[in-house]
Copies of this chain bind each other. A is one copy, B any other.
Amino acid sequence: MDIRNYVEQLGEQARVASMSLAMASTDQKNLALTKTAEALVVHKSALLEANERDIEEGAAAGLSPAMLDRLRLTDARLDAMIEGLHQVAALPDPIGAVSDMHIRPSGIQLGKMRVPLGVVAMIYESRPNVTIEAASLSLKSGNAVILRGGSEALHSNQALAACVTAGLEAANLPVHAVQVVDTKDRSVVDELVVLTRYIDVIIPRGGKGLIERISGIARVPVIKHLDGICHTYVDETADLIAALPIVVNAKTHRYGVCNAMETLLVSKAVADEFLPQVQDVLGKMQVELRGCEKTQQIISCVPATQDDWSTEYLAPILAIRVVADMEEAIAHINHYGSHHTDVILTQHHGRAMHFLRAVDSSSVMINASSRFADGFEYGLGAEIGISTDKLHARGPVGLEGLTSQKYIVFGDGQIRS
- Residues of A in contact with B (beta carbons under 8 Å apart): 19, 22-23, 96, 104, 106, 108, 110, 113, 115, 117-118, 200-201, 216, 219, 221, 239, 242, 245-246, 248-250, 253, 334, 356-358, 360-369, 371-373, 377-379, 389-392, 394-396, 404-416
When all copies of this chain in the complex are counted, the total is 2
Q: Are B416 and A369 in contact (CB under 8 A)?
A: yes
Q: Are B117 and A390 in contact (CB under 8 A)?
A: yes
Query: A415 and B253 in contact (CB under 8 A), knowing A361-B406, A409-B368?
Result: yes
Docked Cα-Cα span, A361 to B416, in Å, equals 20
Q: Are A415 and B369 in contact (CB under 8 A)?
A: yes
* Chain B min CB distance to A293 (Å): 27
Most B CB atoms within 10 A — which of A108, A110, A390, A410? Answer: A390
Q: Are A360 and B391 in contact (CB under 8 A)?
A: no
Q: Are A360 and B115 in contact (CB under 8 A)?
A: yes
Residues of B within 8 A of A106 (CB): 372, 377
Docked Cα-Cα span, A245 to B411, in Å, equals 13
What secondary structure prevails in chain A residues at the interface with B?
mixed
Q: Give the residue name and chain of the B residue nearest to A367 (CB).
A: B411
Q: Are B117 and A407 in contact (CB under 8 A)?
A: no
Q: Are B416 and A253 in contact (CB under 8 A)?
A: yes
Docked Cα-Cα span, A250 to B409, in Å, equals 14
Query: A414 and B369 in contact (CB under 8 A), knowing A23-B357, A358-B23?
Result: yes
Q: Are B253 and A372 in contact (CB under 8 A)?
A: no
Query: A391 and B239 in contact (CB under 8 A), knowing A356-B408, A369-B414, A371-B415?
Result: no
